Amino acid sequence: MTSYPIGPMRPLRLLDLLPAFAFLASANIVQVAAAFLANLVLARLLIPEQFGRFALVLAGAQLVLSILSLRINVLIIRTPDAEDTPERRSLYFSVMTLETGAATLLALGYFLAIERVGAIEALLVVSIGLSHWLNHNKAFFERRMVYKGLAMIEAGCAIGAHGAAVALAIAGFGERSLFLREILTVVLQGGGLLLIGGLTFLPLRLPSRRDVALILGQSGGVWLDSMLEALFQRLGILIAGGLLGERGAGLLFLAQRLAMVPHQLLTPMVTRLAPNWFGRLEVETSRAAGRRTLLKVIAVPLVVAAVMTILLAGPMIHLVLGERWLPAAPAFAAMAGMVACLSLFEVMRGYCLSAARTRVLLAARCAQFAGYALPLVPILFGGSVDLQALGLALSAAYLCAFATGEFMLRR
C-alpha cells in the first residue's frame, strides 16, 4: 500500500495525487465513453417516454434512500487515522447496513403505494439499495488511497453494463434494457470489489444510545447537505414529469446527461480524490490553499465547455441523439451555467465537508434552491414553464451555490 507523509512538516500536495488520479481518470474516460456511446445507440432505439419512465422510477427510489442515509461513507473517509479503531469501523459497518435495509424496504413500499412497481421496477429498487451499500462499504478501502484496483473494476462494470443494455435494446427489450443496465452494474460492481478485496465485512451489532449520539453528532450537517443534494439532483426530473409528462422527463434526462459529461470527466479529482486529500491535510492553511489551486486548474476548461454548449447545443443533440431529441436542445443550451459551475461547486463542497464548514455549505445549498426557483416563478402566477426554463433553473442553481459558498469562505 502506498503511504504518504502527512502532517505540518510535509502536507500531502496536489502533485502527490497524480498517480491515483491517472488510474481513476483513465477508468473514468472509459466509463464516460461507454455511457456516451451506449446512450447514442439507445436514443435511436427508444423514445423519450421510455427514458422518462425509467428516470422517474430511478429518481424516486434514489430519493428515498438519500433522505434516510446518514452518509457513513463521508464519515469513514474523514475519520482521523488516530480514531480509525476496530470499534469505530464496526459501528460504521452496522449503521450503513441497517440503514440500507430499512431504506430499501421503504422505497419498495412507496412504489407499491402509488402502484408503479412491477417485477423489473422492484429489482431496480433492490439494486439501488445494494449499490448504496457497496458505495458506502468501499469507503473503508478507498480511504487507503489505493485506487488502481477500483479503477479497473469501475471501467469493466461500465463496459459490461452499457454493452449489455445496447444488446438488450437491439434484441427488443425496450425500456427494460435501461432497468437491466442498472441491475447488471450493481452485480458486476459487487463481484469486482469482492475479487480485489475491496469490501469489508464486520459483525453486525445494534448501536447503543451512545453510538447513536456519536453518529448523529458526526453526520448531522453532512446528512442535511447530502439530503438536500439528493433532493436537488432529482428535483428537475420529478418536476418535468409532473409538468410535462414522461416525454418531458425523458428529454430533460438525456439533456442533463449530456451536460454532465465535463463534470464526469473531472469526477475522479473533484468528488473522490479532492475530499480524501482535504481530509488528510491537518493544517487548515494547506487545505484552503489546495482548494484554491484546484479551482484555478479546472475553471478554464469548464468555461470553454460552457461556451461550446451554448454555441453547439442543437448540432450536438442532432448528432449524438438524433432528430427526435431536438426538442431537448434549448434545455441543453440553457444548462451552460451548470456545465461551468457544477465541478467548481463540488470542490467547494468537498472542502467544506472535510473542514467541518457545514454552515457555509448549508448557506450554499439555500442559495442553490433559491437560484433554481427563479426561472420557475411564472408557475406561481398561473403561467407555464418549458424545458428551457428547467435548464436555466439548473444553471442558476449551481451558479448561486458556488458563488455563495466561495464568497463566504474567502470572506
Q: Which residues contact 326 (CB under 8 A, 6 or more apart)?
A: 314, 317, 318
> What cell was used for 370?
433559491
pLDDT band per the 50, 70, 90 thresholds, residue 282: low
Count of CB atoms within 10 A of residue 311's CB? 12
Residue 10 vs residues 6, 282, 283: alpha-carbon distances, Å: 6, 10, 10
Specify the pLDDT at position 369: 93
pTM of the complete model: 0.70
Does the pLDDT at position 135 exceed 50?
yes
Percent of the chain clearing pLDDT 90 (strictly above): 34
Structure confidence by residue, pLDDT tens digits, 285-318: 878 888 888 899 899 999 999 999 999 999 989 8
pLDDT band per the 50, 70, 90 thresholds, residue 3: very low
Specify the pLDDT at position 184: 93
Q: Name the amino acid, one letter, at 297.
A: V
Specify the pLDDT at position 145: 67
Q: Are 70 and 179 a contacting pair, CB within 8 Å?
A: no
Residue 232 vs residues 64, 130, 239, 397: alpha-carbon distances, Å: 13, 22, 11, 9
- CA dihedral over 377, 379, 383, 384, signed as positive or negative: positive
pLDDT band per the 50, 70, 90 thresholds, residue 226: confident
As a whole number, mean pLDDT of residues 210-226 equals: 80
**Spatial distance between the Cα atoms of 195 and 117, rounded to a whole number of angstroms:** 33
Tell which residue, 336, 333, 339, 343, has the closest CA to residue 402: 343
As a whole number, mean pLDDT of residues 136-149 equals: 81
382 vs 386 pLDDT, higher one? 386
CA dihedral 268, 273, 276, 282 (to 10 degrees): -160
Q: Name the amino acid, one letter, at 325.
A: W
Structure confidence by residue, pLDDT tens digits, 163-215: 999 999 999 898 899 999 999 999 999 999 998 888 999 989 888 889 888 88
